[in-house]
Amino acid sequence: MYLFNLKASECFSLPRHAISRSPITLFPKVTIMASIEVLPDLYPEIEPYDTGFLKVSDLHTIYYEQSGNASGNPVIFLHGGPGGGTSGNDRRYFDPESYRIILMDQRGCGKSTPFAELQDNTTWTLVEDIESLRKHLGIEKWVVFGGSWGSTLSLTYAEEHPDRVKALILRGIFTLRRKEITWFYQEGASTLFPDFFEEFVEPIPEVERGDLMGAYHRRLTGNDEEVKLRCARAWSKWEMSTAKLLVDDEVIARAEDDHFAIAFARIECQFFVNGGWFKGTNHVLDNAEKIRHIPGVIVQGRYDVVCPFKTAWDLHKRWPEAEFHVVPDSGHSAREKGIAGRLVAAADKFRNI
Protein backbone atom coordinates (compact mmCIF):
# COMPACT_ATOMS: atom_id res chain seq x y z
CA MET A 1 0.00 0.00 0.00
CA TYR A 2 2.89 2.37 0.72
CA LEU A 3 5.00 1.78 -2.39
CA PHE A 4 4.64 4.47 -5.04
CA ASN A 5 1.04 5.26 -4.16
CA LEU A 6 0.64 8.84 -5.30
CA LYS A 7 -1.98 9.93 -2.78
CA ALA A 8 -0.99 13.32 -1.39
CA SER A 9 -1.22 12.17 2.22
CA GLU A 10 1.05 9.17 1.94
CA CYS A 11 4.77 8.56 2.07
CA PHE A 12 6.70 5.53 0.90
CA SER A 13 9.05 2.87 2.17
CA LEU A 14 11.99 2.26 -0.15
CA PRO A 15 15.22 0.25 0.14
CA ARG A 16 17.72 1.02 2.88
CA HIS A 17 19.63 4.29 2.84
CA ALA A 18 17.48 5.95 0.18
CA ILE A 19 17.76 9.74 0.23
CA SER A 20 15.01 11.61 2.05
CA ARG A 21 13.64 14.59 0.13
CA SER A 22 10.84 17.15 -0.03
CA PRO A 23 9.55 17.44 3.52
CA ILE A 24 7.15 20.28 4.29
CA THR A 25 8.59 22.47 7.07
CA LEU A 26 5.97 24.60 8.78
CA PHE A 27 8.09 25.96 11.62
CA PRO A 28 11.75 25.44 12.57
CA LYS A 29 12.25 21.75 13.41
CA VAL A 30 8.59 20.85 12.70
CA THR A 31 8.29 18.70 9.60
CA ILE A 32 5.29 17.10 7.90
CA MET A 33 6.24 14.49 5.33
CA ALA A 34 5.36 15.19 1.72
CA SER A 35 4.00 12.60 -0.68
CA ILE A 36 7.29 12.07 -2.54
CA GLU A 37 9.48 11.82 0.53
CA VAL A 38 11.63 8.71 0.71
CA LEU A 39 12.41 7.07 4.05
CA PRO A 40 14.54 4.07 4.99
CA ASP A 41 13.09 0.66 5.72
CA LEU A 42 13.70 -1.37 8.86
CA TYR A 43 17.03 -3.16 9.13
CA PRO A 44 17.09 -6.93 8.60
CA GLU A 45 16.26 -9.28 11.44
CA ILE A 46 19.14 -10.17 13.76
CA GLU A 47 19.64 -12.33 16.82
CA PRO A 48 21.11 -11.18 20.15
CA TYR A 49 24.71 -11.99 20.94
CA ASP A 50 24.01 -11.80 24.68
CA THR A 51 20.98 -12.39 26.91
CA GLY A 52 20.68 -12.25 30.66
CA PHE A 53 18.61 -11.63 33.76
CA LEU A 54 19.31 -8.89 36.28
CA LYS A 55 17.87 -9.09 39.78
CA VAL A 56 16.69 -5.55 40.55
CA SER A 57 14.85 -6.13 43.85
CA ASP A 58 14.05 -8.88 46.31
CA LEU A 59 11.01 -9.66 44.15
CA HIS A 60 11.78 -8.68 40.56
CA THR A 61 14.25 -9.94 37.96
CA ILE A 62 14.35 -8.31 34.52
CA TYR A 63 15.31 -9.85 31.20
CA TYR A 64 17.69 -8.00 28.91
CA GLU A 65 19.47 -8.70 25.65
CA GLN A 66 22.17 -7.18 23.46
CA SER A 67 22.50 -7.36 19.69
CA GLY A 68 24.37 -5.58 16.92
CA ASN A 69 27.90 -4.32 17.45
CA ALA A 70 29.26 -5.06 20.94
CA SER A 71 31.62 -2.08 20.57
CA GLY A 72 29.04 0.19 18.99
CA ASN A 73 27.06 3.19 20.18
CA PRO A 74 24.76 1.93 22.97
CA VAL A 75 21.01 2.42 22.59
CA ILE A 76 18.28 1.18 24.91
CA PHE A 77 14.81 0.42 23.55
CA LEU A 78 12.03 1.05 26.09
CA HIS A 79 8.83 -0.76 25.15
CA GLY A 80 5.26 0.40 25.51
CA GLY A 81 2.38 -0.56 27.74
CA PRO A 82 3.52 -0.62 30.45
CA GLY A 83 3.39 -4.38 30.27
CA GLY A 84 3.91 -4.76 26.53
CA GLY A 85 7.30 -6.49 26.54
CA THR A 86 9.85 -6.56 23.72
CA SER A 87 10.11 -8.57 20.50
CA GLY A 88 12.80 -9.31 17.95
CA ASN A 89 11.32 -6.71 15.62
CA ASP A 90 12.33 -3.99 18.09
CA ARG A 91 15.99 -4.51 17.16
CA ARG A 92 15.32 -3.50 13.56
CA TYR A 93 15.20 0.29 13.99
CA PHE A 94 18.96 0.38 14.51
CA ASP A 95 21.96 -0.12 12.24
CA PRO A 96 23.51 -3.30 13.68
CA GLU A 97 26.96 -2.33 12.45
CA SER A 98 26.85 0.96 14.37
CA TYR A 99 24.72 0.27 17.43
CA ARG A 100 25.01 -1.86 20.53
CA ILE A 101 21.27 -2.55 20.76
CA ILE A 102 19.88 -3.19 24.24
CA LEU A 103 16.34 -4.38 24.91
CA MET A 104 14.84 -4.99 28.35
CA ASP A 105 11.49 -6.36 29.46
CA GLN A 106 10.14 -4.10 32.18
CA ARG A 107 8.96 -5.56 35.48
CA GLY A 108 6.23 -8.15 35.26
CA CYS A 109 6.15 -8.67 31.48
CA GLY A 110 7.88 -10.47 28.66
CA LYS A 111 10.54 -12.76 30.10
CA SER A 112 10.92 -10.79 33.33
CA THR A 113 9.73 -12.37 36.55
CA PRO A 114 7.46 -12.67 38.43
CA PHE A 115 4.97 -12.53 35.60
CA ALA A 116 2.22 -9.87 35.67
CA GLU A 117 3.35 -8.81 39.15
CA LEU A 118 2.04 -5.45 40.37
CA GLN A 119 3.83 -5.22 43.71
CA ASP A 120 6.88 -2.93 43.71
CA ASN A 121 6.18 -2.09 40.06
CA THR A 122 6.00 1.68 39.47
CA THR A 123 7.40 4.31 37.14
CA TRP A 124 10.11 5.08 39.67
CA THR A 125 11.23 1.46 40.12
CA LEU A 126 11.45 1.14 36.33
CA VAL A 127 13.64 4.26 36.16
CA GLU A 128 15.88 2.66 38.80
CA ASP A 129 15.98 -0.56 36.75
CA ILE A 130 17.20 1.31 33.67
CA GLU A 131 20.03 2.83 35.70
CA SER A 132 20.86 -0.54 37.26
CA LEU A 133 21.07 -2.10 33.81
CA ARG A 134 23.26 0.74 32.49
CA LYS A 135 25.70 0.21 35.35
CA HIS A 136 25.55 -3.57 35.00
CA LEU A 137 26.51 -3.31 31.32
CA GLY A 138 29.28 -0.78 31.99
CA ILE A 139 27.75 1.94 29.82
CA GLU A 140 28.52 5.58 30.56
CA LYS A 141 25.86 7.19 28.32
CA TRP A 142 23.39 5.86 25.81
CA VAL A 143 20.76 6.81 23.27
CA VAL A 144 17.27 6.28 24.70
CA PHE A 145 14.46 5.19 22.35
CA GLY A 146 10.81 4.77 23.37
CA GLY A 147 7.28 5.01 22.02
CA SER A 148 3.87 5.37 23.66
CA TRP A 149 4.40 4.43 27.34
CA GLY A 150 8.04 3.99 26.30
CA SER A 151 8.12 7.73 25.54
CA THR A 152 6.83 8.45 29.07
CA LEU A 153 9.50 6.26 30.60
CA SER A 154 12.23 7.64 28.30
CA LEU A 155 11.36 11.22 29.21
CA THR A 156 11.13 10.44 32.93
CA TYR A 157 14.46 8.62 32.89
CA ALA A 158 16.12 11.46 30.97
CA GLU A 159 14.71 14.06 33.36
CA GLU A 160 16.07 12.10 36.32
CA HIS A 161 19.42 11.23 34.70
CA PRO A 162 20.10 13.80 31.95
CA ASP A 163 23.85 13.25 32.21
CA ARG A 164 23.40 9.62 31.09
CA VAL A 165 21.46 10.34 27.89
CA LYS A 166 23.21 11.05 24.57
CA ALA A 167 19.99 11.54 22.61
CA LEU A 168 16.26 10.80 22.75
CA ILE A 169 14.15 9.22 20.00
CA LEU A 170 10.45 9.34 20.92
CA ARG A 171 7.25 8.22 19.21
CA GLY A 172 3.53 8.52 20.02
CA ILE A 173 4.00 10.86 22.96
CA PHE A 174 2.21 9.96 26.20
CA THR A 175 2.69 11.79 29.49
CA LEU A 176 0.02 10.05 31.59
CA ARG A 177 -2.00 13.16 32.29
CA ARG A 178 -5.53 12.41 33.50
CA LYS A 179 -7.08 13.90 30.35
CA GLU A 180 -5.00 11.57 28.18
CA ILE A 181 -6.27 8.56 30.13
CA THR A 182 -9.94 9.58 30.10
CA TRP A 183 -9.77 10.38 26.36
CA PHE A 184 -8.87 6.78 25.58
CA TYR A 185 -10.55 4.79 28.34
CA GLN A 186 -13.70 6.80 29.11
CA GLU A 187 -14.85 9.20 26.41
CA GLY A 188 -13.08 10.51 23.34
CA ALA A 189 -11.62 7.71 21.27
CA SER A 190 -14.98 6.01 21.82
CA THR A 191 -16.58 8.42 19.36
CA LEU A 192 -14.18 7.35 16.59
CA PHE A 193 -14.35 3.62 17.27
CA PRO A 194 -17.82 3.09 18.79
CA ASP A 195 -18.03 -0.48 17.51
CA PHE A 196 -14.85 -1.58 19.27
CA PHE A 197 -15.67 0.53 22.32
CA GLU A 198 -18.91 -1.39 22.82
CA GLU A 199 -16.81 -4.55 23.10
CA PHE A 200 -14.51 -2.79 25.56
CA VAL A 201 -17.33 -1.81 27.94
CA GLU A 202 -19.26 -5.07 27.57
CA PRO A 203 -17.58 -6.86 30.55
CA ILE A 204 -18.49 -3.97 32.88
CA PRO A 205 -22.05 -3.65 34.30
CA GLU A 206 -23.78 -0.48 33.14
CA VAL A 207 -23.99 0.87 36.68
CA GLU A 208 -20.15 0.95 36.86
CA ARG A 209 -19.47 2.47 33.44
CA GLY A 210 -19.11 5.99 34.78
CA ASP A 211 -15.59 4.99 35.86
CA LEU A 212 -14.36 2.32 33.46
CA MET A 213 -10.77 2.49 34.70
CA GLY A 214 -11.82 1.81 38.27
CA ALA A 215 -14.19 -0.97 37.23
CA TYR A 216 -11.49 -2.68 35.17
CA HIS A 217 -8.93 -2.28 37.94
CA ARG A 218 -11.16 -4.04 40.47
CA ARG A 219 -11.54 -7.00 38.12
CA LEU A 220 -7.96 -7.18 36.88
CA THR A 221 -6.67 -7.22 40.47
CA GLY A 222 -9.42 -9.44 41.85
CA ASN A 223 -9.45 -13.15 42.64
CA ASP A 224 -11.84 -14.39 39.95
CA GLU A 225 -9.45 -15.73 37.31
CA GLU A 226 -12.16 -16.17 34.68
CA VAL A 227 -13.31 -12.56 35.04
CA LYS A 228 -9.72 -11.35 35.13
CA LEU A 229 -8.91 -13.08 31.83
CA ARG A 230 -12.09 -11.87 30.15
CA CYS A 231 -11.33 -8.29 31.13
CA ALA A 232 -7.67 -8.60 30.11
CA ARG A 233 -8.71 -9.73 26.64
CA ALA A 234 -11.24 -6.91 26.27
CA TRP A 235 -8.79 -4.28 27.54
CA SER A 236 -6.04 -5.45 25.20
CA LYS A 237 -8.34 -5.76 22.18
CA TRP A 238 -9.49 -2.16 22.59
CA GLU A 239 -5.93 -0.85 22.33
CA MET A 240 -4.95 -3.21 19.52
CA SER A 241 -8.08 -2.22 17.53
CA THR A 242 -7.21 1.47 17.62
CA ALA A 243 -3.44 1.22 17.17
CA LYS A 244 -3.29 1.91 13.42
CA LEU A 245 -4.88 4.37 11.05
CA LEU A 246 -6.43 1.39 9.29
CA VAL A 247 -7.74 -1.38 11.54
CA ASP A 248 -5.36 -4.35 11.33
CA ASP A 249 -6.75 -7.80 12.17
CA GLU A 250 -3.25 -9.18 12.77
CA VAL A 251 -2.63 -6.55 15.45
CA ILE A 252 -6.02 -7.21 17.03
CA ALA A 253 -5.22 -10.93 17.17
CA ARG A 254 -2.42 -10.19 19.62
CA ALA A 255 -5.09 -9.63 22.29
CA GLU A 256 -6.05 -13.29 21.92
CA ASP A 257 -2.69 -14.27 23.43
CA ASP A 258 -3.74 -14.70 27.05
CA HIS A 259 -0.16 -14.57 28.33
CA PHE A 260 0.36 -11.18 26.71
CA ALA A 261 -3.10 -9.84 27.58
CA ILE A 262 -2.92 -10.57 31.32
CA ALA A 263 0.37 -8.72 31.86
CA PHE A 264 -0.50 -5.92 29.46
CA ALA A 265 -3.92 -5.17 30.97
CA ARG A 266 -3.03 -5.63 34.63
CA ILE A 267 0.13 -3.53 34.54
CA GLU A 268 -1.31 -0.78 32.32
CA CYS A 269 -4.42 -0.41 34.44
CA GLN A 270 -2.43 -0.39 37.69
CA PHE A 271 -0.15 2.37 36.42
CA PHE A 272 -2.99 4.44 35.00
CA VAL A 273 -5.32 4.40 38.02
CA ASN A 274 -2.32 5.49 40.11
CA GLY A 275 -1.34 8.30 37.73
CA GLY A 276 2.07 6.70 37.23
CA TRP A 277 2.88 7.68 40.84
CA PHE A 278 3.96 11.07 39.49
CA LYS A 279 4.13 14.05 41.82
CA GLY A 280 1.61 15.96 39.69
CA THR A 281 -0.49 15.39 36.58
CA ASN A 282 1.88 17.51 34.44
CA HIS A 283 5.06 16.06 35.93
CA VAL A 284 6.68 14.98 32.66
CA LEU A 285 6.04 18.27 30.84
CA ASP A 286 6.85 20.39 33.86
CA ASN A 287 10.32 18.82 34.02
CA ALA A 288 11.08 19.09 30.30
CA GLU A 289 13.42 22.01 30.99
CA LYS A 290 15.94 19.48 32.31
CA ILE A 291 16.34 17.80 28.91
CA ARG A 292 16.33 20.77 26.53
CA HIS A 293 20.08 20.43 25.96
CA ILE A 294 19.73 16.77 24.89
CA PRO A 295 19.46 16.16 21.12
CA GLY A 296 16.09 14.67 20.32
CA VAL A 297 13.63 13.57 17.66
CA ILE A 298 9.86 13.34 18.20
CA VAL A 299 7.82 11.28 15.71
CA GLN A 300 4.04 11.56 15.89
CA GLY A 301 1.27 10.06 13.78
CA ARG A 302 -1.21 12.75 12.79
CA TYR A 303 -4.17 10.44 13.44
CA ASP A 304 -2.91 8.74 16.59
CA VAL A 305 -6.03 7.90 18.61
CA VAL A 306 -4.25 6.12 21.48
CA CYS A 307 -1.88 9.01 22.23
CA PRO A 308 -3.34 12.00 20.37
CA PHE A 309 -1.20 14.61 18.62
CA LYS A 310 -2.01 17.25 21.25
CA THR A 311 0.36 15.71 23.79
CA ALA A 312 3.23 15.65 21.30
CA TRP A 313 2.46 19.27 20.45
CA ASP A 314 2.53 20.19 24.13
CA LEU A 315 5.92 18.51 24.48
CA HIS A 316 7.21 20.31 21.39
CA LYS A 317 6.32 23.66 22.95
CA ARG A 318 8.22 22.73 26.12
CA TRP A 319 11.16 21.28 24.15
CA PRO A 320 11.38 23.27 20.90
CA GLU A 321 15.00 22.26 20.29
CA ALA A 322 13.97 18.69 19.42
CA GLU A 323 13.13 17.81 15.83
CA PHE A 324 9.39 17.21 15.52
CA HIS A 325 8.13 15.06 12.66
CA VAL A 326 4.42 14.66 11.95
CA VAL A 327 3.52 11.60 9.88
CA PRO A 328 0.33 12.50 7.98
CA ASP A 329 -0.90 9.01 7.07
CA SER A 330 -0.37 7.18 10.37
CA GLY A 331 -1.95 6.46 13.70
CA HIS A 332 -0.20 5.18 16.81
CA SER A 333 1.71 2.07 15.83
CA ALA A 334 5.46 2.07 15.29
CA ARG A 335 4.83 -0.61 12.66
CA GLU A 336 3.12 1.82 10.29
CA LYS A 337 5.44 2.53 7.38
CA GLY A 338 5.75 6.29 7.72
CA ILE A 339 6.41 6.14 11.46
CA ALA A 340 8.85 3.24 11.16
CA GLY A 341 10.79 5.08 8.47
CA ARG A 342 11.05 8.22 10.56
CA LEU A 343 12.28 6.22 13.55
CA VAL A 344 14.94 4.47 11.51
CA ALA A 345 16.06 7.80 10.06
CA ALA A 346 16.30 9.26 13.57
CA ALA A 347 18.38 6.33 14.78
CA ASP A 348 20.62 6.67 11.73
CA LYS A 349 21.08 10.36 12.59
CA PHE A 350 22.41 9.54 16.06
CA ARG A 351 24.45 6.42 15.33
CA ASN A 352 27.75 8.30 15.67
CA ILE A 353 26.77 10.71 18.40
For 323, the enclosing helix (H) or strand (E) is strand 323-327
Q: What residues form DSSP beta bridges with 67?
A: 101
Cα gap 159→207, rounded to integer Å: 41
Yes or no: say if 244 and 334 are a contact pair by the CB < 8 Å rule. Answer: no
**Residue 224 neighbours by CB distance under 10 Å:** 10
Catalytic-role residue among 95, 105, 129, 304 = 304
Within its chain, how far is the Cα of 203 from the centroid? 27
Catalytic-role residue among 148, 151, 190, 241 = 148
Cα gap 104→323, rounded to integer Å: 26
DSSP string, 211-255: GHHHHHHHHHTSS-HHHHHHHHHHHHHHHHHTSSSS--HHHHGGG
Cα gap 344→340, rounded to integer Å: 6
Yes or no: say if 30 and 13 are a contact pair by the CB < 8 Å rule. Answer: no
Residue 217 falls in the annotated catalytic set:
no
Residue 148 falls in the annotated catalytic set:
yes
Residue 71 falls in the annotated catalytic set:
no
Side-chain half-sphere CA neighbours of 55 within 13 A = 3
Phi and psi for 266 in degrees, rounded to 5?
A: -65, -45
**Residue 250 neighbours by CB distance under 10 Å:** 9
The set of catalytic residues is 148, 304, 332
